[in-house]
Structure 1
Amino acid sequence: MKSSQVTSSLNSRFYKIIIVFVVAIVLVFSLIIINPLSELNYILALEFSWNTFTDLLWFGLLGWVITESSILVSSYLDRLLPWEQFSGKRFFLQLLAQCICVVVLMSFLLWLTDFLLTPNEGNTEEDWMGFRQVLFISIILSFIVTAIHTGNHLIVNWKNSITEANELKQSSLQSQLQSLKLQLDPHFMFNNFSTLSSLISESPVEAQLFLERLSEVHRYMLYNLDRNIIPLKEELDFISAYIYLIKIRFSENLQIEVAGVEDFLHKGIPPITLQLLIENAVKHNIASRSQPLHIRIFPENDQLLVVNNIQRMPSSLPSSRIGLKNIINRYKLLSGQLPEITETDFDFVVKVPLLPLNQNS
């Protein structure tokens, strides 16, 4: 933080030095344009001497006063009347304040210069004309400096507002993702507690083993709560453990096949996606010895397909559709690619895009 503040301060000083130098040069050339013969002859007659050095310092001082007064007035009005809220009032007040400030300061400097260099000489008409010319040019240069400063100020504020908006958007997306991921826990646990309850009375040994595997799977889910995308390999490892649990519920009535994924293990997928799709297929279809449910998981291009044969239950329970909605909503927040859901006379197909792992945040 301190390093960035020092860098910002150095940049600000360098920025002011450049503006002061440019203002001083423009002031000299403006006087040459207004009085081409007298001023040019005066410059051509100059030679490197103490007087030349003091003249350069004087123009540099005028440039510094114009620049610094313009920036100070603009900075003060930024706090009093921000452009974003009071653009009309700010414009007219800026013009008035700049004119008064520059006229007062430049008049004082010009008077002080005359007083110190020519204390006993009166001012001629030519001197008064030069005085008015310097004031006019100074006011114009002050407006230009203010325009540069204000433009820079508005651009910085615009960039900051974009950064803040992006941060707020990212924070909102993360909050939505976190909310969606929290849905996974009760959805998963609800579908397995009933199995555990029946196993306790039928086979305490299997119930104990089921509970151990359930705790491992649940630990995996908690571990990935803060991760938006995980490698496909990790998801498939988790599915292997999950298949053990679901096989206890359905035995050979459920067949799950994972094939052809070796070349896609480096791709990414939102965690628990495959578990939700398997659970969705089991929930809505008959899985019996006479009608086994087949689930196939395999890649196609940059998508992973989860396909199950359709054999709907005669009287299925009302569905909350948490699983599919959860997957779709997470993909909406993570990627422009969305899952494709198609249904034929024989199969229910869900295609989930495989994402690059560098999207993970």
Structure 2
Amino acid sequence: MKEKLLSFLLAAALTACLTAYLFYHVGLISWMRELSATQWVTLAGMIIGAGLLISQGYRFIIQVRPWDQGHVTRSMALLTILTGTLAAYTYFLDVMVQDWLLDLGENTSPSTGSLLLKGGLVSLILSLLIIWIDYSWFAFARYSKETIHRLREERNKKELQFNLLRSQLTPHFLFNSLNTASYLATSHPDQAEEFIRKLAFNFTNLIRNGIQPLNSLERELEIVDNYMHLMKVRYGDKVLLEKRVKAGMEAKLLPALGIQLLVENAMKHNVASLESPLKIMITAEQQQVVVTNTLTQKPEKVESTGIGLRNLKERYLHHGRAIPTVSQQGGFYEVHLPYVTPKDSQR
């Protein structure tokens, strides 16, 4: 209803402006002061009628011929209804003005003969202008709609990809933990129960808090401490964890469970013993976190799915950051994890 009223008011205003323009250019503005109330009502009725015809015709055309279903046909139809209505209005206006001048006992002004010609030309120009505005408006609207649709699809695709990556984290943690539980159940039954209880506690906490896209460094270190508390049940002093955190770095952000994944991998791919303990060092620098572990003897028959590090790299790409760098030299395996800023995550 509001759209219909707005289109009518715009069409009526257009017709009224055309009337004022024509009267001005044929020198009849001062004569309009002499019009009677009946003549003013008649003129207003003609303007309203032309406005109704234009607005209804425009709305009919845009309904039967949407912009994206043939804008050339739509434009030609709009040109016909706009120019035809305004030209017809100008013709009847010319006839009416001449009759009113005769009724007033005045000879027809020589300038009124050009009213029809001027009206037809101005009507054509106005019609072309309206069609250009219509084309530009709907072209921009379509471009905006397609752009928004494309961006929405890309965002949905990224969200689906991220949800898939996030869904891999819990199984990865559970798989490694169950392997440890299986080992303890056969080799150290007395420690297996304690381990399973601690595992249940950590797993419940993980589910309750959820896996966020990003965690602060402080939260990541807390998760690692909880995980290492589990591992101490099995390994004892065979695994040593050292943390070097520069002051003020606690609030820096990292992909969730990123450090824990590297700690898990370090213990999975190295044999720890009292004679040759596995040392894991977490160093929080100004721009990144460096997770380093010593290289000991490789375990036999260790299956590597590659999910952990690949998952971490893909999540970094999701957040718009360069992937972590990995190096191995001098008996050490080292992974550099750049911090992620909120600005990176919004890309």
Q: Please, what TM-score do these two structures have when normalized by structure 2? A: 0.79
Q: Could you give the per-residue CA deviations for residues 253-312 of structure 1, whole angstroms, max 9, x where no partner exists?
A: 211111215412212222111111111122222322222221111112221111112335
Conservation of the 8 A alpha-carbon contact between 1:230 and 1:357: no
Once the two structures are overlaid, the 10-residue window that deviates more, 180-189 or 22-31, is 22-31
More displaced 10-residue stretch of structure 1: 18-27 or 274-283: 18-27
Residue 242 of structure 1: how far off its partner (Å): 0.2
CA contact (8 A) 2:217 2:249 kept: yes
One-letter amino acid of the counterpart of residue 95, structure 1: M
From 134, 159, 164, the equivalent of 2:149 is 164
Would you say 1:309 and 2:294 are equivalent positions? yes
Q: Secondary structure at the residue paired with 1:258?
A: strand
Cα distance, 1:217 vs structure 2: 2.3
What amino acid is aligned across from residue 80 of structure 2 in structure 1?
C
- Please, which runs of 5 or more residues in structure 1 have no aligned partner? 1-5
Decide whether aligned partners of structure 1 residues 64 and 261 sit closer, same or farther in structure 2, where only a CA change above 3 A counts.
farther
Q: Percent identity?
A: 21
Q: Does 1:326 align with 2:326?
A: no
Aligned pairs for 1:156-195 (under 5 A) are 156-195=141-180
Q: Which amino acid aligns with 1:91?
A: V
Q: Bigger CA drift: 221-230 or 50-59?
A: 50-59
Shift of 1:236: 1.5
Write out aligned runs for 1:250-289 (5 A): 250-289=235-274
Q: CA RMSD in A?
A: 4.1
Q: Provide closer, same or farther for how the CA distance between residues 205 and 27 of structure 1 changes in structure 2, counting only shifts above 3 A.
A: farther
Aligned to 1:246: 231
Amino acid in the other structure paired with 2:127: S
With 323-332 and 338-347 compared, the bigger mean Cα shift is at 338-347
Aligned to 1:95: 76
Contact 1:228 1:360 in 2 (8 A): no
Say whether the 8 Å CA contact 1:229–1:271 is kept in structure 2.
Answer: yes
Calculate the TM-score normalised by the size of structure 1: 0.77
For residues 149 and 320 of structure 2, what CA distance do their matches in structure 1 show? 21
Aligned to 1:149: 134
Contact 1:297 1:307 in 2 (8 A): yes
Q: In the TM superposition, what is the alpha-carbon distance from 1:162 to its structure 2 partner?
A: 2.3
Aligned CA distance change for structure 1 residues 266 and 323 (closer, same or farther; 3 Å): same
Q: Is the 8 A contact 2:94 2:115 kept in 1?
A: no
Matched residue type, 1:193: L
> What corresponds to 1:137 in structure 2?
122
Contact 2:15 2:50 in 1 (8 A): no
Seen in structure 2, the aligned counterparts of structure 1 residues 26 and 299 have a Cα distance that, compared at 3 Å, is farther
For 1:48 and 1:116, how far apart are their aligned partners in 2?
Answer: 13
Q: Give the aligned length.
A: 342
Instruction: Could you tell me which runs of 5 or more consecutive residues in structure 2 were left unpaired when the two chains were aligned.
Output: none
Measured at CA, do residues 279 and 23 of structure 1 come closer, stay the same or move farther in structure 2, by a change above 3 Å? farther
Q: Matches of residues 180-259 of structure 1 in structure 2 within 5 Å?
A: 180-223=165-208, 225=210, 227-259=212-244
Q: Which residue of 1 aligns with 2:278?
A: 293
CA contact (8 A) 2:246 2:286 kept: no
